[in-house]
Amino acid sequence: MPIDLRALMRPRVAGLCALCALLLAAAVQAQPAPPRGAPAIPGPAAKPAGATIDDYRLGPGDTLGVLVFQNPDLSLDVRVSESGLISYPLIGSLAVGGQTLIEAQVALAQALRSGGYVREPQVSLVLRQIRGNQVSVLGQVSRPGRFALEAFSTRVSDMLAAAGGITNAGDDWLVVTGTREGRPFRKEIDVPSLFGPQTSGDDIVLAPGDTLYVGKAPQFYIDGQAQKPGAHRLERGMTVRQALAAGGGPTPRGSQNRLRVHRKDAQGRLVEAVPQMNDLVRPDDVIHVGESLF
């Protein structure tokens, strides 16, 4: 009499499936529940608010990839000229400077259609390289010069990094100038606040044609019987005591009790004063360390 092996194995398979289901349920119950009020597991990160690639305006030097569906001979890379034009087969020159990618796509498709070259052109533009929109970084930075806006959301901190950062002689403040909505734009930015523990609203998104300028840090001078006479960087909130320490302190012949400060008053006249150790030092102050009487 033949034996039906499938009939014999069916109860065992069913038992294994039931056992797997029990183990899976136990594993799910063993996982710790998140604490009450805890945020849910985040999904894909949301795109930051602000400018997008669709908002980018084409400028001189940008390189575009033109793709025309079912027309490989018309698919090529073009470069935006200094006058904002691209040179394209059949239609010649086409103005795209200042347009978004979508606007340039529509203009190119209309030119192909109106010229009778393609009946229903399906045009797609890809931004290969951003070269036209540049920002100037000047003053006390490691690598001053002109830098391309390689991204549509480049901020002040990004451009400072591209310029190699501020030198030791650079100020803690920089000035951004340019145009916004056709009007002159100027903003002073506290550089240390860009990298502080709290988010700074001064890390603004830069626009084409902006200029970042970092001036020299304010200085004070120390002379007389000081260990290190000369010019020194004036730090924020620096007191006379700290300035004297920056100058190395008095020499063996000098005395911190015989200090004089020479500075200009509101009328621009040079005046002399006897400072206290906790007085604040002002830019361009000259601190004189006198000789000890004994």
**Residues in the chain, pLDDT under 50:** 1, 4-9, 11, 13-51
Q: What is the pLDDT of residue 122?
A: 92
Which of 276, 266, 270, 286 lies closest to 239, judged by CA?
276
> In this structure, are strands 286-291 and 219-224 parallel, antiparallel, or unpaired?
parallel
pLDDT at 19: 46
pLDDT at position 132 is: 64
Question: What is Dmax (Cα atoms) for the chain?
Answer: 128
Superfamily classification of domain 53-129: wza like domain (3.30.1950.10)
Q: What's residue 56's pLDDT?
A: 75
Domain boundaries, the chain: 53-129, 134-216, 219-291
Contact 17, 9 (CB under 8 A): no
pLDDT of residue 54: 65
> Domain 219-291, what architecture?
Roll (3.10)
Q: Is 147 left (phi over 0), alpha (psi -120 to 50) or beta?
A: beta
Cβ-contact 90, 117 below 8 angstroms: yes
pLDDT of residue 40: 36
Q: How many CB atoms lie within 10 A of CB 146?
A: 10
**CATH topology agreement for domains 53-129 and 134-216:** no
In the numeric block, which tokens belong to residue 219? 């200085």
* Fold (topology level) of 134-216: Outer membrane lipoprotein wza fold like (3.10.560)
Residue from 105, 102, 103, 80 nearest 93 by CA: 80
The pLDDT value recorded for residue 16 is 43
**Three-state DSSP string of the chain:** CCCCHHHHHHHHHHHHHHHHHHHHHHHHHHCCCCCCCCCCCCCCCCCCCCCCHHHCCCCCCCEEEEEECCCHHHCEEEECCCCCEEEECCCEEEECCCCCHHHHHHHHHHHHHHCCCCCCCCEEEEEEECCCCEEEEEECECCCEEEECCCCCCEHHHHHHHCCCECCCEEEEEEEEEEECCEEEEEEEEHHHHCCCCCCCCCCECCCCCEEEEEECCEEEEEECECCCEEEECCCCCEHHHHHHHCCCECCCEEEEEEEEEEECCCCCEEEECCCCCCECCCCCEEEEEECCC
Model pLDDT, residue 76: 93
108 and 123 in contact (C-beta within 8 Å)?
yes
